Chains A and B, each alone.
Chain A
């Protein structure tokens, strides 16, 4: 049953993936004038320009260019970086683990802090806790994450010295985790705010249902009613918002990796954007879109597991 749903959703994702290739392809077409000149700068010799133009296949008609581009992308060939001359896929491969760690850290922060905040706020509606949690979540989405990063790094790394200010640790497990704490907090804060809000409203709805009244009437403890009956029923909207927020989170890695000097995908993308290394820009953007589509596919597949009423 679940297998059929997985296959169905996987097939439905193919047009979106194809669309993502189209978008990534057209980013290069947006460049006014000669893209190769834009990439190499005014000082490049005519031979260099011709060589890059040839390697990108820019002398062919647009339709041919696109078909070749789509064919390459479909087989995982994202071209070669203009500057490092390395295959883009290799550059991505080197940076991906660090970014995945950061993204998971961000999701963890969003869920571990956001869900209890929302549950408490819903269980004690109108109380001080409710107002505090609303205030925190409003602040969480209004403070820019680069500011959060700078302030956290100042307080907990520079002043207190609990965590390293820069880098991804020196390799060991403890050092890696230690270097992940502040970046994950920075990245997860906005997500935490959204998760808390969604949890609160889903919980308020669940707490108003008949089965909650029944559970209360049976004399079950308030804690058991909230965490066992209501939270399980509020799980789907919470998981959905985490999935939808994952794209935002991946976009945020660009900022967080810059602030904490972590060598990840976001940093790779930013350097490529500033250096106009378009093959790298295209490859990283496409990969991030693929990750986002994948995560939402997983969210879709989780739904029948979380709630048997959702037909698989």
Chain B
């Protein structure tokens, strides 16, 4: 019996580790302070929740070196619209995934930029400007990620954004999963309806 229980616990640990590329973040009774550097704001307009976020220092030296080496670098933002719960974990109302990818061609010295929102690609761009790359990877303005149809009137919500970069340059021998992800939250807002 003990052997079975131990094997079950072992299997659950392994499966949990396999199914969680990024550590889950649980929020009790509202958004915590979040990580410095990931600033998130939201705006409700025309039936859409427009989410803006910027990742200061997102283009780290390591990521810059990876880009310069020609590796495609991607920053993935998992944006969650959440509803606080008083006695339980906050409920996730909707989730959107935004990715920004840059690939540097050392021959032409041009950066090829691309973005996807929930898998839908935008028009790629080419630039030679470092600042354009930084902005492309780290700044997103008023993305219409959620519809207000999913919200309940007079209810409180907030938006949580988790950001993590690829390639992983800090993967260790025994723990290959991300340890450098950042999380940001909007202040709570009440949807009037």
- A and B held together in a complex: no
